[in-house]
Amino acid sequence: MKFLVINGPNLNLLGQREPGIYGEENYEALCQMVKDYAAAHGSTAECFQSNYEGAIIDAIHGARGVYDAIVMNPGAFTHYSIAILDALKAVDVPCIEVHISNVHQREEFRHKSVTAPACVGQVTGLGLYGYLAAMGYFLEKQSEL
Ligand code: DQA
């Protein structure tokens, strides 16, 4: 499978940003981890990160006909970006939403995801493993996608 792994705002600062919540691994380590996992399963993973909503929307549009599945952590855009919700609905590339932290154990405003309704499912609170869990699901279910 060809995976596109999208990370939204502030996730470029993984490892430095609130390590008690997001862990000590940096963004490069995350990308290497998803690439290695994909390769171990006869697949590929491209990583894209942006702090800009429009750039993320463009990346989702660009996935059409290029990638089999999207694994996305929209960061704070999760909680209010109707534009990212609409972008996911506009393309026929299945997406799983990932959150490193357990958003349900945190502030009330993080409990709501406006983007998850356009996703196959959501993984939250499993740390960086959540990205692999999402990829594993797609690999397992690829004949049904
Ligand atoms: C996050 C959770 C969001 O609420 C937050 O804004 C992030 C990261 C997570 O991975 O746990 O930037 O998506």
Confidence at residue 144, expressed as pLDDT on a 0 to 100 scale? 86
What is the best residue among 18, 51, 56, 101 to mutate for testing ligand 1's pocket, by most ligand atoms within 8 Å of CB? Answer: 101
Number of other CB atoms surrounding residue 32 within 10 Å: 14
* pTM attached to this predicted model: 0.97
Closest CA to 96 of 117, 126, 65, 75: 117
Q: How far is the CA of 98 from the centre of ligand 1 (A)?
A: 9
Round to whole Å and give the CA distance between 15 and 84: 26
Q: Which amino acid is at 20?
A: G
Ligand 1 centre to CA of 143 (Å) is 31
Q: What is the pLDDT of residue 143?
A: 81
Q: What integer is the mean pLDDT of 113-133?
A: 98
Tens of pLDDT, residues 22-51: 999 999 999 999 999 999 999 999 999 999
- Average pLDDT of 125-133? 98
State which amino acid sits at residue 100: I
